[in-house]
């Protein structure tokens, strides 16, 4: 399977153009061992050494969808790129008005949800491995005509993977830290989004406090993927069973 075949497969699953474009842009072969490069675009997990894996593209796309990064970036549904560009220029960059003030667009759209207006957008991935998902998140946040101020953090416990991912990722907005991810990254919190790319044995309630209001945590717990939303300081959850992940490694 080549990259375009993989993109077509993900498209059939109903993932957004935003996610598909990120998969199109990021070269998966850069994040896996040399001998596995011919298999880079198979829709399956691959070993990245050190007892770790790079997740199946479908699973990654599923979790990115649950992160709702489109709401952070101000993207809306059912508006073409040119119209969206004009709205963003007029209302956000120049006048800082809300999109809901626009009239007579002729199409329905969702209100923009800027979760974090005052500070930088902060995103954390626990178990960042080779850095592939960090690269995908970064691409999603690079929205045309919308200059986002963001920081992305990756926590990886394996020193060799930390070195390799730092060598591949050349992005000043991404910082990879060697640490025990089971505790999150309190010193950089609160986060707008937290993604965990390995499975906890039980719901990681200790990380909830590191979410900003309206923040989202997406994490595997045993064989399910959970989405946790922090709304008015309360946690709302959804569960999606039927997945397999390597476990979170603790010191």
Q: Is 16 a catalytic site residue?
A: no
Give the H/E segment covering residue 213.
Answer: strand 211-221
From the candidates 16, 55, 73, 197, which is the catalytic residue? 55
Token pair of 34 as six digits:
């040399």
Pairwise CA distance, residues 4 & 7, whole Å = 5
* Phi/psi at 205 (5° precision): -60, -25
What residues contact residue 157 under an 8 Å CB cut-off, 6+ apart? 127, 178, 179, 180, 181, 249, 250, 251
What count of other Cβ atoms lies within 10 Å of the Cβ of residue 90? 14
- Residue 52 · residue 158 · CB < 8 Å: yes
Q: Name the residues annotated as catalytic.
A: 55
């Amino acid at each position: 399977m080549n990259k375009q075949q993989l993109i077509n497969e993900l498209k059939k699953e109903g993932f957004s153009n935003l996610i598909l474009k990120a998969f199109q842009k990021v070269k998966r072969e850069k994040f896996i061992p040399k001998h596995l490069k011919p298999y880079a675009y198979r829709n399956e997990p691959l070993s990245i050494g050190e007892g770790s894996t790079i997740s199946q593209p479908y699973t990654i796309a599923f979790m990115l969808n649950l992160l709702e990064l489109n709401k952070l970036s101000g993207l809306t549904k059912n508006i073409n790129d040119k119209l969206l560009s004009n709205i963003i220029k007029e209302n956000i960059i120049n006048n800082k008005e809300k999109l809901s003030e626009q009239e007579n667009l002729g199409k329905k759209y969702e209100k923009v949800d800027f979760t974090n207006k005052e500070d930088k957008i902060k995103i954390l991935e626990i178990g960042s491995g080779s850095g592939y998902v960090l690269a995908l998140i970064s691409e999603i946040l690079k929205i045309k005509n919308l200059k986002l101020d963001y920081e992305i953090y990756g926590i990886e416990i394996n020193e060799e993977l930390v070195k390799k991912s730092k060598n591949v990722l050349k992005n000043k907005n991404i910082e990879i830290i060697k640490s025990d991810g089971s505790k999150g990254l309190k010193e950089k919190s609160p986060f707008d989004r937290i993604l965990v790319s390995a499975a906890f044995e039980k719901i990681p309630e200790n990380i909830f406090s590191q979410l900003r209001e309206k923040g989202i945590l997406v994490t595997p717990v045993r064989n399910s993927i959970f989405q946790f939303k922090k709304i008015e300081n309360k946690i709302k959850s959804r569960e999606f069973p039927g997945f397999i992940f390597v476990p979170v490694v603790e010191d």
